[in-house]
Amino acid sequence: MSISSRGSPPFLGVPNEILVRILKGASLHDLQAFTHATGLPSVVQFVLKERLRLLLSLWGLDDLASRNMMRTTGSVLGGSAALSMIHPNTLVPCNLDFYCPLGNAGLVLDFFKARGYHDLSFGGRDPVSPGMGVKRVYTLGSLETLQGVNVVESLSLSPLVPILYSPTTLVMNYVSSEAVVCCYPALTTAKKGILNSPPCSMLTGGASARNIAMFAWRGCIDKYRKLYAFDVQCKQQCDSSTCDHLVGRTCLLAERRASDTYHLRVGFGDVVPLNVGPDVRWVQINEVEPVGGNDDDPYVPGVSWPRYPVFTLIVVVDGKERERFFGKKLYPGDFWYDAVENALGS
């Protein structure tokens, strides 16, 4: 691929081809800043599309076909691959995680199977840690590229619900068919993250479920802390005694929605949608005492696992339908159903 200077005058006399080389390793924040400073969105759009093309080519995937699949199925690319689109020289993802709405997993799987990928999970598997907004996970592999792909089917009509239950704000990002989106840009741009809410199985599950959830949770967090040298902190970055919890750039207790202005969005084209699929709102509530806590409990401060400050409640609104989540989908009569209504009922 190449970019022509035709149609857009060079910035300070620098040809577009040189600008592309300069911006090749720029963070998503810097790409947006460049657009605002120069008025040359076409250069940034080219850089971003080329970044995605090179990433997907490692999995033998065409970027245009992949974006069309995401557009028609309402799916997004998340995980470390999305983070690598924001910080391109910081990490190399070991697999691709595609998140799709409830009921669309078959269409996404067909796309990959048509490109030589095989279902290694034999019809999918339940999530390792229940209570993550996930219905089923499908793991695929290719003998040609020797690469792996995970297709994560959401419990919701929105593909974003599982992403909002990510272990840390560092991976609360996604790539849609039209844009790269970062939910907490002030933190992520600085290579910082805050621990998000744990799987609800760590609250409501038995000892075995809690230990499995803790192991998976800690493994994910340690990957970004120790392998990629990101700063992951154990509490929200606000002073709860003075913060009004209305600013969503760093405060996890602020009410957020998928279309709000706190996101960082940089598009592949001139039109950048504010959201993917139904409207999603989320908020985190104050600390809940872990079930069965005692001096030997790994969730007690000062032992091997930090106490979590907040827990995520989500509402997804699609037309007249209103979905409520605390990790799992909630129904009338559930304690957390009422908690969601109290927090996000309006």
Task: Kindly give the confidence (pLDDT) of every residue in the chain, 346 residues in length, as a single tens digit, with 9 standing for 90 and above.
Answer: 555 544 455 555 678 888 888 889 999 999 999 999 888 899 999 999 999 999 999 999 999 999 999 999 999 999 999 999 999 988 889 999 999 999 999 999 999 999 999 999 888 887 766 668 999 999 999 999 999 999 999 999 999 999 998 888 899 999 999 999 999 998 899 998 887 766 555 555 555 655 666 666 677 777 888 777 888 876 555 655 666 666 677 777 788 899 999 999 999 999 898 889 999 999 877 554 444 444 333 343 333 444 444 578 889 998 878 999 888 888 898 888 888 888 887 6
Residue 45 lies in a domain: no
CA 161/CA 282 separation, integer angstroms: 9
Q: What's the predicted TM-score (pTM) here?
A: 0.86
Question: In this structure, is residue 170 part of a structural domain?
Answer: yes
Residue 27 lies in a domain: no
Instruction: Determine the structural domain holding residue 158 and report its residue range.
Output: 58-344
Domain assignment of residue 281, yes or no: yes
**How many other CB atoms sit within 10 Å of the CB of residue 30?**
13
Decide if 66 is inside a domain.
yes
- Cβ–Cβ < 8 Å for 156, 133: yes
Residue 12 is assigned to a structural domain of this protein: no
* 311-318, strands of its sheet edge to edge: 256-257, 279-285, 311-318, 321-326, 328-329
| Closest to 161 (Cα-Cα) out of 209, 207, 200 | 200
User: Is 231 domain-assigned?
Assistant: yes
DSSP string, 29-87: HHHHHHHHHH--HHHHHHHHHHHHHHHHHTTT--HHHHHHHHHHHT-EEEHHHHHHHHS
Q: Could you give the number of structural domains in the chain?
A: 1
Residue 111 lies in a domain: yes
